[in-house]
Each structure stands twice: as structure tokens, then as C-alpha cells.
């Protein structure tokens, strides 16, 4: 025993993962913890996959509906997908086995805004949640649960599920206790009240989850590390994009729209480009910046340590092994500067709007008018999902989309005449950035936006084709507010499908 279970009532429920999965039945809706690489159950999911495999071997069917915070570790996604264990998946995945099954039409996938998950489950859109499997760092004397390295939707899973299986993971630093802020004030209409969070560092909830002990049917002890997040060194393209973003911040400060030292709370997606932007902030002379985002990456720890960032709020850690070591070694310091919250709060439209968050997200492609596709390759095949990008983009003070100007060795242009799938409409997109430049679309009509996006953001190789498309569209009689050649609007995509290149 790890000493993490301080409540006697829970200690009597300790059992193996193999025993615990006996409580999960075919056709159950199972809600598990996990957000990115952090806080996914380590023992129960593999045991469940094994149970499904054994059941299938006897000729019986066994699928579950799987609800999570966002993506979970690839291992988790793979294990359950490979045994054909998932009938329906919600709300986000980022794993190739699952992606293939979804795109083959063999797994239902519901791709929704991360801020909507908790409320939609409360509203009953996904039926009743039979079992919640939630990783925690420990159980207090009073039977409250100390959250793990991510919070995601765990509060909601614990509230709504009929049965609860807890995984107490002694690998999670015990000193994280006190870093979390779990808000219990959300209600459904007509009983909603304002969420009193007015600064990034505000604590409006409690450090632990509550759970009805009668629902807890099993406690499983584990000692397993989170799925480490391999760091990709930032390349020239990412650095160029970051450079444009940093210039833009300086420009906005000069225009009096952003405070000079601290800007406004930053939200950055994960990956290369976000890392490069964050990495450049300490060279920008900023002090006391804040972040109101989904995840905390290694680059953020460095910024917090040197005072560039004063406070960072998110719903999950996304740290490498070195990052976890750094956090643990200096936990008393970081606990003062980092807050983890439920994703309905980290991504809440009301708060994102109030704080004036600067939203920076990746995209697959944008069209010449600023509509953005973040999710569907060639308009049909899901990549990951919309995740939190819409929560931040729609409600941010400035909404930026960042991407290299081409993909797959230059055969795909990230700027196209019309996106074949829209996640963020022209009304939600204010700034587009590629390595070639930045298009500030605020205050511009569609025709003016088109010119700017092509000139500033498209790869030079694709600019003449895009200009040609726009000119011919604009020259038509009755070209309209947003000129298009409807028969040709997806010509770039069709050409790629037929020839392997948009060129
Ligand atoms: O494919 O991995 O097979 O090489 O897409 O592309 O350029 O590495 O960019 O990792 O930032 O991902 C939109 C997917 C961008 C991501 C998306 C291919 C390209 C490559 C990845 P390979 P890059 P990124 C988080 C908010 C939605 C969720 C979100 C995403 C792969 O940003 O999932 O924003 N966003 N959450 O080859 C076909 C195109 C393509 C393309 C790129 N136009 N067509 N394939 N690719 N462009 C909020 C937080 O706070 C965490």
C-alpha cells in the first residue's frame, strides 16, 4: 500500500484491476479520466481491453461507449480500438488506430467543443453514464479525492456515473495536493449564475473532488507514469511563425490594445509552433504574463520559473519526464503559480471572453476569406477533432490561427480557395499566420481579406493560382459579397486527390 488512501472507508474497497473490470458490462457508457498524456487510468483500461478480448474470443460482443476529457494516451486508445471495444467515442482523439477506424466508418465519433462535454452529459445527450474510471493522486481522511495530473471532466464523471472505480496512482507527486481548483458552481439553465473568476490566478473552488462513497465500487492502486510527451525541437518554420506572432504583440502594444508588460492571458495549442511562440516570449522582455489555456507544457515551466509568466491556468499538465522532474523538485514554487481546473472552466466561453484571452491555435487550412478547417483532411477524413480551439477562438480577444503555409512536402497549400470543412468561420478568425507572414483580418471586408491572406500567408508557389481564382471569381457578374467560382472552389483538393498534389 502506498499510504495514499487516508480514508478507512475507501481502503476496504481496494482490489485488482482485473477484479474491478468485472463491474463493467457490454454496452456500458464508460467515462474515464485523462487529458492528453496526463491522468489516464493506467491499470483498469488494459484490464478492460483484455476482458473484451476474452469475451470476443467466446463469440460474444463487447463494446462500450467511451467518454474522456480530450485525447488519452495512444496506448489507451490503441488497446481499446484494437479489440474493437469502442462503439462510440467522444469528444477528442489523436491516435492513428482510432482515427482509421473512425474514418472507415467502423467507430462512431462525436467531435464537440471541449467546454460542452460536461454540460451535454448532464443534459443527457449521451444517456446515462454507467461507470466512471478516474485516476487520482490520493484520498483524504474525509474521503475527498486529490486530483491527478489532469482534471478534464473528472468532476462531472464522478457526479454523474452510477458506479465509480478509482485508480490511486502513487507516481503522481503527492505534493501536487493544493494545485487544483475544482469549481462546484455550474448548473444547468435556468439556474446558472455568473462564474466569479475575474483573474487568471483566482481560486473559486476547492482543491479536491467530492464523491458519494456509496458509488465507489472499487479502488485500484497503481504506480504508473503519464504518457511522456516527446519534445520536438522547434524548426525554422515554427520559429518564423513565432517571430510574426511576437511582432504582432509588439504592434498591438504600440496601438494601445494590449498592456505593455503583461499583454493579456495567452492560450496556445500544443506542438511545435506553440512551443516556439512560448519559447520566444522570454526574449520579448515581458514580465508577469498570464496564461489561460488547456495544457501546461515544458516551455511554460521555464517561463514561470524566470518570472516571464506569473500565473498559468490549465486543465492538464503535458510535461516530458524532465518536466515532471522539474515540477516535483520545485513543487512549492510551482503550486503558487500553476492552477489546474475542470475543462468546463479552463475552456469556459464566459471566462475566455471576460479575461480577453489571446487565442493561438493550429489549423489544417484556411480559405482566402478566413474560414478555417482544423479537423478534416480533404474535407472528409478526421484528423483529431476540434478540441478546445473553438472555445478559445470564438470567445478570445484576438483569435489567431497558425500553420506552416504548406503540408506534405509542399503538395498541399494551407491556403485554399474554399475550405471543404469549416470549424471556425470567417467571423471567428481574426489573424492568420504562416512562416511567410501575418494577415490581420480585423475590420476588413471579405474581398480585402482575400487579398491580404494570399499576399501575406500563402506560399509564393501557390500565390498566382490563388490570385487567379480570386480575380476570376470577383470578375463574374453579380460576384457578391464573398466571390467564389462554385464549380471550382474545391479544385485544389480535387487535384490533390487525383494527382497527389495541389500544384
Ligand atoms: O501530418 O503528422 O502525418 O505529418 O497534419 O500538422 O503542421 O505538424 O501541425 O501538429 O499543429 O497540427 C490542426 C491537426 C495541426 C492541430 C492540427 C498534416 C501534416 C501533419 C500535423 P503528419 P502540423 P499541428 C488545443 C486546441 C485542433 C485541436 C485544437 C489540431 C499533421 O492543431 O488538431 O486546436 N487542432 N485544440 O502533414 C492535410 C492539410 C494539412 C495536413 C497539416 N491542409 N491537409 N494534412 N496536415 N495541414 C488547445 C490547447 O490549449 C492544447
Residue 278 Cα to ligand 1 midpoint, Å, equals 18
pLDDT averaged over the chain? 96
Residues whose CB falls within 8 Å of the CB of residue 257, separated by 6 or more in sequence, listed in order: none
Question: pLDDT tens digit string along 12-31?
Answer: 999 999 999 999 999 999 99
| Ligand 1 pocket, residues with Cβ under 6 angstroms | 267, 269-271, 273, 293-295, 361-365, 374, 377, 383-384, 386-389, 404, 407-408, 412, 414
Residue nearest to atom 21 of ligand 1 (CA): 364
In this prediction, residues 467-495 reach a mean pLDDT of 98
Which spans in 314-461 are helix H?
321-329, 331-337, 343-346, 349-355, 389-395, 446-457
- Please state the atom number of ligand 1 nearest to the C-alpha of residue 374: 13
Please, which pLDDT band fits residue 231 given cuts at 50, 70 and 90?
A: low
**Residue 209 pLDDT exceeds 90:** yes
Peptide bond preceding 190 in cis form (omega within 30 of 0):
yes
Concatenated DSSP letters of 442-458: TT--HHHHHHHHHHHHS
∠ CA 277-279-282, nearest 5°, is: 110
pLDDT for the residue 189: 96
Which spans in 330-445 are helix H?
331-337, 343-346, 349-355, 389-395
**Residue 271 pLDDT exceeds 90:** no
Which of 364, 389, 457 for mutating ligand 1's site (highest number of atoms within 8 Å of CB)? 364
In this prediction, residues 450-458 reach a mean pLDDT of 98
Cα–Cα distance, 117 to 69 (Å, whole number): 8
435 in active site = no
pLDDT for the residue 230: 66
ipTM rounded to 2 decimals = 0.97
Q: Where are the beta strands (DSSP E) in 75-118?
A: 86-90, 108-109
- Please state the atom number of ligand 1 nearest to the C-alpha of residue 36: 51
- Please state the atom number of ligand 1 nearest to the C-alpha of residue 318: 51
Question: pLDDT tens digit string along 305-319?
Answer: 999 999 999 999 999
Cα–Cα distance, 100 to 377 (Å, whole number): 12
Concatenated DSSP letters of 40-63: --SSHHHHHHHHHHHHHHTT----
In this structure, the strands spanning 358-362 and 266-268 are parallel
**Structural contact between residues 339 and 201, judged by C-beta atoms closer than 8 angstroms:** yes
Cα–Cα distance, 168 to 407 (Å, whole number): 42
In this prediction, residues 356-380 reach a mean pLDDT of 98
In this prediction, residues 58-77 reach a mean pLDDT of 96
Helices and strands (H, E) in the chain, number of each type? 18, 25
Cα–Cα distance, 342 to 353 (Å, whole number): 17
Cα–Cα distance, 460 to 175 (Å, whole number): 52
**Structural contact between residues 278 and 271, judged by C-beta atoms closer than 8 angstroms:** no
Catalytic residue of the set 135, 294, 365, 426: 294
Q: Which of 313, 292, 118, 137 is nearest to 208 (CA)?
A: 137
- For residue 200, with 0-12 CB atoms within 10 Å meaning exposed, 13-18 middle and 19 or more buried, which class applies? buried
**Structural contact between residues 127 and 195, judged by C-beta atoms closer than 8 angstroms:** no
Residue nearest to atom 18 of ligand 1 (CA): 407
Residue nearest to atom 42 of ligand 1 (CA): 364
pLDDT for the residue 275: 81
**Residue 376 pLDDT exceeds 90:** yes
Is the pTM above the cut of 0.95?
Answer: yes
- Please state the atom number of ligand 1 nearest to the C-alpha of residue 413: 43
Please, which pLDDT band fits residue 410 given cuts at 50, 70 and 90?
A: very high
pLDDT for the residue 229: 63
| Percentage of the chain exceeding pLDDT 90 | 92
Per mean pLDDT, which range of 266-275, 327-336, 370-379 is the poorest?
266-275
In this prediction, residues 202-208 reach a mean pLDDT of 98
Residue 363 Cα to ligand 1 midpoint, Å, equals 6
Residue nearest to atom 4 of ligand 1 (CA): 408
In this prediction, residues 47-56 reach a mean pLDDT of 98
Residues whose CB falls within 8 Å of the CB of residue 402, separated by 6 or more in sequence, listed in order: 241, 245, 269, 273, 274, 277, 360, 361, 362, 363, 432, 433, 434
Amino acid at each position: 500500500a502506498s499510504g495514499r488512501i487516508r480514508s478507512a472507508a475507501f481502503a476496504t474497497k481496494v482490489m485488482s484491476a482485473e477484479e474491478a473490470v468485472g463491474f463493467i458490462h457490454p454496452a456500458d457508457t464508460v467515462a474515464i479520466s485523462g487529458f492528453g498524456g496526463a491522468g489516464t487510468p493506467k491499470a483498469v483500461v488494459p484490464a478492460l481491453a483484455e476482458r473484451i478480448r476474452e469475451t470476443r474470443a467466446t463469440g460474444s460482443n463487447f463494446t462500450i461507449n467511451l467518454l474522456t476529457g480530450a485525447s488519452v494516451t495512444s496506448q489507451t486508445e490503441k488497446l481499446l480500438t484494437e479489440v474493437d471495444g469502442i462503439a462510440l467515442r467522444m469528444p477528442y482523439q489523436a491516435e492513428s488506430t482510432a482515427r482509421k477506424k473512425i474514418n472507415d466508418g467502423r467507430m462512431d465519433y462525436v467531435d464537440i467543443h471541449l467546454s460542452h462535454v460536461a454540460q451535454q452529459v448532464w443534459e443527457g445527450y449521451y444517456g446515462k453514464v454507467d461507470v466512471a474510471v478516474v485516476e487520482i493522486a490520493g484520498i483524504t481522511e474525509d474521503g475527498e479525492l486529490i486530483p491527478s495530473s489532469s482534471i478534464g471532466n473528472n468532476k462531472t464523471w464522478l457526479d454523474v456515473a452510477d458506479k465509480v472505480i478509482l485508480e490511486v496512482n502513487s507516481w503522481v507527486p503527492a505534493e501536487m495536493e493544493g494545485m487544483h481548483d475544482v469549481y462546484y458552481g455550474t448548473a444547468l439553465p435556468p439556474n446558472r449564475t455568473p462564474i466569479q473568476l475575474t483573474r487568471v490566478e483566482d481560486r473559486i473552488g476547492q482543491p479536491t473532488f467530492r464523491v458519494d462513497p456509496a458509488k465507489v465500487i472499487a479502488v485500484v492502486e497503481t504506480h504508473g507514469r503519464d504518457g511522456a510527451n516527446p519534445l520536438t525541437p522547434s524548426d525554422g518554420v515554427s520559429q518564423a511563425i513565432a517571430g510574426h506572432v511576437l511582432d504582432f504583440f509588439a504592434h498591438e502594444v504600440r496601438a494601445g490594445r494590449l498592456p505593455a508588460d503583461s499583454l493579456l492571458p495567452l492560450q496556445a495549442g500544443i506542438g511545435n509552433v506553440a512551443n516556439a511562440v512560448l519559447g520566444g516570449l522570454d526574449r520579448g522582455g515581458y514580465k508577469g504574463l498570464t496564461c489561460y489555456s488547456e495544457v501546461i507544457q515544458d516551455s511554460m515551466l521555464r517561463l514561470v520559473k524566470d518570472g516571464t509568466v506569473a500565473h498559468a491556468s490549465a486543465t492538464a499538465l503535458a510535461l516530458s519526464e524532465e518536466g515532471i522532474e522539474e515540477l516535483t523538485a520545485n513543487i512549492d514554487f510551482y503550486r503558487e503559480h500553476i492552477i489546474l481546473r475542470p475543462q468546463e472552466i479552463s475552456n469556459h466561453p464566459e471566462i475566455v471572453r471576460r479575461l480577453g484571452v489571446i487565442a493561438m491555435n493550429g489549423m489544417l487550412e484556411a480559405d482566402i476569406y478566413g474560414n478555417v478547417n482544423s479537423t478534416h483532411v480533404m474535407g472528409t477524413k478526421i484528423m483529431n477533432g476540434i478540441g478546445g480551439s473553438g472555445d478559445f477562438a470564438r470567445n478570445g480577444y484576438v483569435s489567431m490561427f497558425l500553420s506552416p503555409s504548406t503540408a506534405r512536402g509542399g503538395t498541399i497549400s494551407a491556403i485554399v480557395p474554399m475550405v471543404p470543412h469549416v470549424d471556425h468561420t470567417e467571423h471567428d478568425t481574426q489573424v492568420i499566420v504562416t512562416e511567410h507572414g501575418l494577415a490581420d483580418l480585423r475590420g476588413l471586408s471579405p474581398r480585402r481579406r482575400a487579398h491580404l491572406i494570399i499576399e501575406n500567408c500563402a506560399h509564393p508557389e501557390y500565390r498566382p493560382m490563388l490570385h487567379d481564382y480570386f480575380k476570376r471569381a470577383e470578375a463574374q457578374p453579380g460576384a457578391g459579397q464573398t466571390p467564389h467560382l462554385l464549380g471550382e472552389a474545391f479544385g485544389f483538393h480535387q487535384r490533390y486527390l487525383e494527382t497527389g498534389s495541389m500544384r
